[in-house]
């Protein structure tokens, strides 16, 4: 069934050699990889080990196996060719921040925003849990590259897992298979070691643990994407942010998009918003007619993660380390995000959405107004969709997901695979804020922009377990993802600004979610966000003026192009969207002062000075 099956000659553990009947031969001569995989085999004791070479033949066999065991369901192959469905346990539907740890030797290196445990203690706690956990199961050894193969910014990981779902998702989300070892070579030890077992999917013993000093990730008792696709949050953000600090680059929770102007020039922008605040939508935006008619176009480079490094010309360049999108399904429709929906039409995996049993297609809240009558809801019960919804139930879990190959995306950037990345002109921060934060404003300079990033807060969503709608601080949208002390992270940002000097991208803050006194959103969002991007680009080019306020540079109302939506956005609404309310901002300053206290001595003096300066300007 598999491409290469044979006796595994490299196993250095006699006990495991005896017990394991057959194992696929290792795909690499790299002794560091082989020694580590041997160690993981000895620990978890799988019945069988399969190295993932990434061939179609092998992946097809795995798909068939997952379908035959019921782990996955094959969807309508005419309407959704190559698409599969998977459902996780109801207790396992989101990232679990309270069970996510950064294990550095010194507690202060993890900082107050991370759960910390001494690495020795954590290894001692987890090792017995992994001991023999793969007995009766197959271990899949997944080599993968984060970033285009051959890119100087790319990095290699190896994940061992007992889940075919993980293998098939990693195939979409990363450059997976033997080719990843080409990047690593036969000697290097520079790869991230990821150990995953779904074990019993026991929430009480669920752990998502990063050991940044060991380049290692251990995840157990979960099968939900954000906890188990170890290339994504665990590696490309938590471990990579730690690596980036040591190596002079940045790993950020940011989308990357290119705006092509009528003259053909493309300006690249990154944006950091907390989970489920519309990064995928902004990354794939379709501009309103008044822009497309002039020849504007938006290209997607990434929707979730950016790795950024100064290039030879001194500018900041970004790659998307991922190869696909792990997007939130509910709310995605032809109007909100045509391109994301189009990306899910082939070779995609759907997790925890609803199934239309009549034609084996998928449905979620916000897809359209017609829930399927003969539906299977996300937990697996067959229900009458319209009645079920009318009773106030959700057919799809609010954090249900699609995993879709980037190459499916109609607006994927021609630079997506460029190993050098794309040069960044602007970086945007934002969150969901009903009040206080205006539609858009620009930082005075990089240091002020770093302060603005450190002050990001947002009303919570369903992407992480816990209450929804509560305001929480989420600096740079990295609170759940920064692999080291947040104060050191801000210092690294300030340091990067010094290196970039006047070539640094300009920094902005946006808020698509401001509400009026009746609780209605004032800004239409989605494609209309192009109007804000346009102002941002003009600011980068120095072709539009701004009003200097206490919080930064704000647009003059007439400089946001409202062609086609003048009726919706009256000048009164625009004034409210751009309002800077002194009292609300002074309350924000007081609240930030409290928030920063936890960082103690590690709060960079520059951030403190920015806060003081903001207060003085507000009072001035």
Nearer to ligand OXD, 447 or 474 (CB): 474
Nearer to ligand OXD, 226 or 527 (CB): 226
Nearer to ligand OXD, 377 or 474 (CB): 474
CB of 95 to ligand OXD, least distance (A): 6
Regarding 320 and contact with ligand OXD (CB under 6 A), the answer is no
Q: How far apart are CA 610 and CA 612, in angstroms?
A: 5
Nearer to ligand OXD, 157 or 177 (CB): 157
Active site residue 482: no
Nearer to Mn ion, 49 or 170 (CB): 170
Indicate the SS3 state at residue 197. strand
Judged by beta carbon distances under 5 to 8 A according to partner kind, the member of Mn ion, ligand OXD, none in contact with residue 163 is none
User: For residue 567, with 0-12 CB atoms within 10 Å meaning exposed, 13-18 middle and 19 or more buried, which class applies?
Assistant: exposed
Residue showing tokens 């759907």:
350
Nearer to Mn ion, 304 or 447 (CB): 304
Q: Which residues pair with 404 in a beta bridge?
A: 325
Say which residues have a Cβ less than 8 Å from residue 272's Cβ, sequence separation at least 6. 252, 253, 254, 427, 428, 429, 430, 453, 456, 476, 477, 478
Q: Which residues pair with 144 in a beta bridge?
A: 157, 176
Regarding 350 and contact with ligand OXD (CB under 6 A), the answer is no
> Among 281, 261, 266, 272, which Cα is nearest to 308's?
272
Judged by beta carbon distances under 5 to 8 A according to partner kind, the member of ligand OXD, Mn ion, none in contact with residue 95 is ligand OXD
Regarding 303 and contact with Mn ion (CB under 5 A), the answer is no
Rg (CA), the chain: 24
Residue showing tokens 């196996």:
65
CB of 163 to ligand OXD, least distance (A): 17
CB of 229 to ligand OXD, least distance (A): 9
Regarding 457 and contact with ligand OXD (CB under 6 A), the answer is no
> Among 508, 502, 499, which Cα is nearest to 244's?
499
Indicate the SS3 state at residue 195. strand
The one-character DSSP state at 269 is E
Judged by beta carbon distances under 5 to 8 A according to partner kind, the member of Mn ion, ligand OXD, none in contact with residue 237 is none
**CA torsion angle for 29, 31, 32, 33 (degrees, to 10)?**
40
Q: Which residues pair with 176 in a beta bridge?
A: 144
Judged by beta carbon distances under 5 to 8 A according to partner kind, the member of Mn ion, ligand OXD, none in contact with residue 239 is none
- The pair phi, psi for residue 447, each rounded to 5°, is -65, -40
CB of 304 to Mn ion, least distance (A): 4
Among 53, 162, 304, 365, binds ligand OXD (CB under 6 A): 304
CB of 89 to Mn ion, least distance (A): 22
CB of 325 to Mn ion, least distance (A): 10
DSSP code per residue over 28-84: ---HHHHHHHHHHHHHH--SEEEE----HHHHHHHHHHHHHHTSSEE--TTTSTT-E
What are the Cα distances from residue 135, in Å, to 46, 130, 217, 407, 434? 5, 10, 21, 37, 51
Per-residue contact string for residues 247-286; x = within reach of Mn ion by CB under 5 A:
----------------------------x-----------
| # of chain residues touching Mn ion (CB under 5 A) | 2
Identify residues 245-284 at the interface with ligand OXD (CB under 6 A).
Answer: 275
Q: Which residues pair with 365 in a beta bridge?
A: 368
438 neighbors 577 (Cβ within 8 angstroms): yes
Judged by beta carbon distances under 5 to 8 A according to partner kind, the member of ligand OXD, Mn ion, none in contact with residue 326 is ligand OXD
**CA torsion angle for 199, 200, 201, 206 (degrees, to 10)?**
-70
Per-residue contact string for residues 83-102; x = within reach of ligand OXD by CB under 6 A:
------------x-------
Identify residues 552-581 at the interface with ligand OXD (CB under 6 A).
Answer: none
Regarding 220 and contact with ligand OXD (CB under 6 A), the answer is no
- Per-residue tokens: 155: 């990095």
CB of 55 to ligand OXD, least distance (A): 28
Judged by beta carbon distances under 5 to 8 A according to partner kind, the member of Mn ion, ligand OXD, none in contact with residue 238 is none
CB of 481 to ligand OXD, least distance (A): 8
Q: How far apart are CA 153 and CA 256, in angstroms?
A: 15
Q: How far apart are CA 618 and CA 614, in angstroms?
A: 6
Regarding 226 and contact with ligand OXD (CB under 6 A), the answer is yes
CB of 304 to ligand OXD, least distance (A): 5
CB of 275 to ligand OXD, least distance (A): 3
CB of 119 to Mn ion, least distance (A): 26
From the list 27-35, 296-304, 319-327, 368-376, the region that binds Mn ion by CB under 5 A is: 296-304
Regarding 323 and contact with ligand OXD (CB under 6 A), the answer is no
Residue tagged active-site, from 11, 16, 277, 482: 277
Judged by beta carbon distances under 5 to 8 A according to partner kind, the member of ligand OXD, Mn ion, none in contact with residue 377 is none
Nearer to ligand OXD, 304 or 534 (CB): 304
436 neighbors 581 (Cβ within 8 angstroms): yes
Q: Please state at what angle helix 486-500 crosses helix 240-247, rounded to 10 degrees.
A: 50
Q: How far apart are CA 167 and CA 145, in angstroms?
A: 14
Q: Which long-range contacts (CB under 8 A, 24 or more apart) does 97-102 make?
A: 97/464, 97/465, 97/466, 97/480, 98/465, 99/206, 99/207, 99/208, 100/208, 100/209, 100/210, 100/480, 101/207, 101/208, 101/209, 101/210, 102/210, 102/212, 102/238, 102/483, 102/484
- State whether the Cα torsion 491-492-496-499 is positive or negative: positive
Nearer to Mn ion, 304 or 474 (CB): 304
Q: Which residue is nearest to Mn ion (CB)?
A: 304
Regarding 322 and contact with Mn ion (CB under 5 A), the answer is no
Nearer to ligand OXD, 169 or 183 (CB): 169
Judged by beta carbon distances under 5 to 8 A according to partner kind, the member of ligand OXD, Mn ion, none in contact with residue 332 is none
Among 463, 522, 607, 611, binds ligand OXD (CB under 6 A): 463
Regarding 326 and contact with ligand OXD (CB under 6 A), the answer is yes
Nearer to ligand OXD, 225 or 244 (CB): 225
Nearer to ligand OXD, 48 or 401 (CB): 401
Residues that bind Mn ion (CB under 5 A): 275, 304
Instruction: Kindly list the catalytic residues.
Output: 277
For ligand OXD, the binding residues (CB under 6 A) are 95, 226, 275, 304, 326, 463
């Amino acid at each position: 069934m598999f491409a290469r099956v044979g006796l595994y000659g490299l196993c250095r553990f006699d006990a495991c050699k005896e017990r394991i009947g057959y194992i696929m031969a290792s795909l690499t001569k790299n002794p560091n990889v082989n020694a580590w995989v041997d160690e993981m085999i000895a620990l978890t004791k799988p019945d069988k080990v399969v190295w993932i070479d990434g061939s179609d033949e092998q992946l097809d066999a795995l798909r068939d196996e997952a379908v035959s065991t019921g782990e996955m369901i094959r969807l309508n192959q005419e309407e959704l060719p190559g698409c599969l469905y998977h459902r996780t346990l109801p207790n396992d539907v989101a990232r679990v921040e309270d069970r996510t740890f950064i294990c550095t030797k010194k507690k202060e290196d993890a900082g107050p925003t991370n759960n910390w445990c001494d690495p020795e203690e954590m290894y001692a706690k987890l090792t017995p849990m992994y001991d023999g956990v793969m007995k009766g199961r197959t271990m899949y050894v997944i080599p993968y590259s984060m970033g285009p193969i051959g890119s100087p910014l790319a990095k290699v990981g190896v994940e061992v897992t007992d889940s075919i779902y993980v293998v098939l998702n990693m195939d979409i989300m990363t450059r997976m298979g033997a080719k990843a070892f080409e990047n690593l070579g036969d000697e290097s030890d520079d790869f991230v070691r990821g150990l995953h077992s779904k074990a019993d999917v026991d929430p009480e013993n669920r752990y998502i643990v990063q050991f940044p000093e060991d380049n290692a990730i251990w995840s157990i008792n979960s099968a939900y994407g954000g906890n188990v696709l170890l290339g994504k949050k665990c590696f490309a953000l938590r471990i990579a942010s730690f690596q980036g600090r040591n190596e002079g680059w940045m790993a950020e929770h940011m989308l990357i998009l290119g705006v092509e102007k009528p003259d053909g020039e493309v300006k690249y922008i990154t944006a950091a918003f907390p989970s489920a605040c519309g990064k995928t939508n902004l990354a794939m935006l379709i501009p309103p007619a008044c822009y497309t008619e002039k020849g504007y176009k938006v290209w997607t480079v990434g929707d979730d993660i950016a790795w950024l490094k100064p290039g030879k010309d001194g500018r900041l360049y970004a790659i998307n380390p991922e190869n696909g999108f792990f997007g939130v399904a509910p709310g995605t429709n032809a109007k909100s995000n045509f391109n994301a929906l189009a990306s899910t039409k082939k070779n995609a995996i759907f997790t925890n959405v609803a199934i239309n049993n009549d034609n084996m297609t998928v449905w979620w809240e916000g897809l359209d107004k017609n829930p399927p009558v003969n539906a299977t809801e996300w937990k697996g019960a067959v229900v009458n969709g319209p009645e079920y919804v009318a009773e106030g139930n959700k057919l799809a879990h609010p954090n249900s997901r699609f995993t879709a190959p980037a190459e499916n995306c109609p607006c994927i950037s021609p630079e997506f695979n460029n190993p050098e990345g794309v040069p960044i002109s602007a970086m945007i921060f934002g969150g969901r804020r009903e009040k206080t934060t205006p539609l858009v404003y620009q930082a005075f300079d990089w240091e002020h922009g770093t302060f603005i990033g450190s002050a990001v807060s947002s009303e919570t969503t369903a992407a992480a377990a816990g209450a929804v709608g509560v305001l929480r601080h989420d600096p740079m949208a990295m609170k759940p993802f920064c692999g080291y002390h947040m104060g050191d992270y801000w210092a690294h940002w300030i340091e990067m600004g010094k290196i970039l000097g006047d070539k640094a991208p300009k920094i902005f803050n946006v808020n698509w979610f401001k509400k009026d006194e009746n609780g209605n959103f004032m800004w239409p969002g989605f494609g209309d966000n192009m109007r804000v991007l346009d102002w941002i680009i003009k600011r980068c080019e120095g072709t539009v003026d701004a009003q200097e306020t206490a919080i930064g540079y704000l647009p003059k109302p007439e400089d946001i192009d409202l062609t086609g939506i003048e009726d919706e956005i009256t000048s009164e609404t625009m004034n409210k969207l751009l309002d800077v309310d002194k009292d609300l901002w002074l309350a924000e300053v007081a609240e930030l002062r409290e928030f920063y206290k936890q960082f103690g001595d590690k709060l960079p003096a520059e951030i403190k000075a920015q806060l003081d300066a903001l207060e003085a300007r507000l009072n001035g």
